[in-house]
Structure 1
Amino acid sequence: MSDYQQFLDERDKIDFLIQKGYRINGVKEHLNGATVEFINPKGNVFETLVIGTANARKYFTSLLLKQNHT
């Protein structure tokens, strides 16, 4: 899979969780990218994604900044 295709896949997974009402709860950076923990405030349900591409990490960072600003 190309890097761009991998980015699109990771972005779609992030967007899916955000659309379901999840919020970014925590981020752990590591050599393989980042592990992003999402929480659904309605039911205290946690989901975790491993994000490997640089563009997807920039994407969730922009969402996190937007989330914390509002």
Structure 2
Amino acid sequence: MRNAAACFRVGIALGLNFLVVGIVLAFILGGIIGLERQKRYIMAGVRTNVLVCTGSFLFVSLSIMMGQ
């Protein structure tokens, strides 16, 4: 019983680390895409791309986590 509980705690910690790192990475990459688009005077700028990238990451990762 103790081993199962320890594995469960490790799984939660890895899942939270994955989410935090993924959100930060999606935020940064979305910002880079947004800066490039804003530099070319295209309508969707930094904020839009950051929100889209972060939201997409959360939607996909939470769907995967719910399926496990």
TM range (shorter): 0.3 to 0.5
**The structure with more helix, counted as a fraction of residues:** 2
**Rg larger in 1 or in 2?**
2
Query: TM-score, normalization: structure 1?
Result: 0.34
**The structure with more strand, counted as a fraction of residues:** 1
